[in-house]
Structure 1
């Protein structure tokens, strides 16, 4: 059973999400918040598996709320909800530690699939919208050290987060950044899917990535993947 908390300042929007969640046998709505500060408090108390987090809320917005949830070491996964599918704030939300994002007018089955994917921890990375957003805002990457926006990145000075990776693990991170599933990675490298899962787990652990979406962001920052 996946436990879910809704954080949205619009009562009608919360009601719609509530009705959808209550129609599912494998999901339980554990709480609702009308703002980011309330969401942080409820997550600390209720420990839901997933929070549907609106970005634009009065007071503490969804991005800062996400940052605080992640910084607190919460196991709750954040699924950002945004009005526009190329919203720069959604990118900021992913940078803050969200595990993915969806547009608010997504089909019900897309929202439910997104919740299940984020809750699973081994979700297919980078749904189409996430890839589009990362591509559109790749030029917003932070400019510090090896993460500079310069087009003349030096291969001999890799991003520090990928330094501990083996050559194979770096290859795995690259195809994760390209949105490949475990099955596709297994076929490409002629590996068993169980072996791929082991490699992916090691990549996440060594790079400090919270999940595969965070690994995608790292692949962009380390310039293993470039905007298409």
Structure 2
């Protein structure tokens, strides 16, 4: 069985390899995921947040293709500020009509942006810390945003199944596997218990990552 130290070390190596192989590939995929947020664009305060997200993505894209070292660093610093702003949004806010709006998409993309910027700066431990910070808070978003190689194989597979079933519950669709023959409210409770266990595990890995040296 892999120790937390081993998992943390392997995750850093996987992030390192990711940035050696594909520096430009993932940004378009992330930008395409903004549709869920855009449906709320009639609210001005959400439009302002979308502007922060788009600014961060645009500046990051400019940085990726910049050939000037000093300009690239300046752009990465500017993008980092935008994504940090996203990551620091409060979890929930009330819309003018009284509906509660969660900032999970914004916050998780803040962590994704910081992950990407640290990776471009060859700071792979700090990059991996963003992955596991997101995973320890929003495991369902970590599954969507980050490469499966950053996680232990069994954990990612099991977590993906849990997230898929949780999504099906929200959409009133039939569940898969062991949850298919039990009431949805009971299945939801069981899935959330399992998700909490993953959050705790990812917190342990996060602690180990923060304890390691960059060398």
Q: Which structure has greater helix proportion?
A: 2
TM-score by length of 1: 0.32
TM-score by length of 2: 0.34
